[in-house]
Amino acid sequence: MEYRLARSQDWRGEGPLAAMFPHKPILGMIHMPALPTAPANDMAMDELIASAVAEAKKLERAGLDAAIVENVGDAPFFRDSVPPATVAAMAVVVREVRRATTMKIGVNILRNSWEAALSVAYVAGADFIRCNVVIGAYVTDQGIIQGCAAELARLRASLDRPVLVCGDIHVKHAYPLYDVPIDDAARDLAERGGADAVIVSGARSPDPPTFETVALVVQSVRLPVLVGSGVGLSNVVDLYRIAGGVILGEADFKLGRKWGGPSDEEAYARAVKACREAPEGRPA
């Protein structure tokens, strides 16, 4: 099926997150093993820090623009707040990652621990957070999660330096409680939710959104639209052409294709090179 390319390849969107990067950004994931007090934790803090710093250096050498530090090893996740030990551990890890790299750094504390993520980002010197549910209400495997836009905006306003917010719409592993079209959800997030970027994902972590869905959202808002799931070596160039940026971290970018495991620097580098050299035009 053919469809109109939503924006030119150089279009990155408007606002502070678009201004942060010299071109459409390619972001990577620093997937943390289980942190202290999480059920699967078997690493001391020094080991966790060393792992995160090593991952950051891989991503920077591969040419990525930013990396998101995420506590993916802590499953099962809390809905909207995490234990103090998790906040403390993330703050230490993010601070050391910030010191080790010149990339922009983001924070995501699952499942929707926006207050902790924003606080960690601010204290540790990170640049932005990812928040899965900024507006609306979603049924998830953690239960019902409700939007936090008003509280998040007010906490941001109290800080003396900016920490940007990338917000998901129709986020993966979740289903909206009411049937709002994704383009309407994107407009609400951009115009009423206070986000600096919109993230579009598929139904689950390995699943990409359709090209048509990404194009529809890009046409609906002026903010950068990032693809937040299912981006692999086979589709990264086409999604990068359509969107305002991509987030890489699926199995294609992991050693041994182990999702959540150590990053494959060479695979990341291949994706970055392919995206940067891709000619403008319709996806294949």
| Structural domains of the chain sorted by starting position, each given as residue range(s) with its CATH number in brackets | 16-275 (3.20.20.390)
What is the longest distance spanned by two Cα atoms in the chain? Answer: 51
Q: Distance (Å, rounded) from C-alpha 140 to C-alpha 175?
A: 7
Structure letter (DSSP) for residue 112: T
What pLDDT digit, counting tens, does each position of 239-267 carry?
999 999 999 999 999 999 987 889 999 99
Can you give the pLDDT at residue 9?
47
Q: pTM here?
A: 0.94
**Helix-strand-coil split of the chain, %, nearest 5:** 40, 20, 45
- Nearest C-alpha neighbor of 219 from the set 1, 7, 18: 7
Q: Distance (Å, rounded) from C-alpha 209 to C-alpha 225?
A: 12
How many angstroms separate the Cα of 80 from the Cα of each of 46, 61, 278? 27, 34, 39
State phi, psi for 230 to the nearest 5 degrees.
70, 15
Can you give the pLDDT at residue 10?
53
Both tokens assigned to 282: 């319709």
For residue 82, the number of C-alpha atoms closer than 13 Å in the C-beta half-sphere is 30
pLDDT per position in the chain (284 positions), as tens? 343 444 444 567 899 999 999 999 999 999 999 999 999 999 999 999 999 999 999 999 999 999 999 999 999 999 999 999 999 999 999 999 999 999 999 999 999 999 999 999 999 999 999 999 999 999 999 999 999 999 999 999 999 999 999 999 999 999 999 889 999 999 999 999 999 999 999 999 889 999 999 999 999 999 999 999 999 999 999 999 999 999 999 999 999 998 788 999 999 999 999 999 987 544 44
Structure letter (DSSP) for residue 251: G
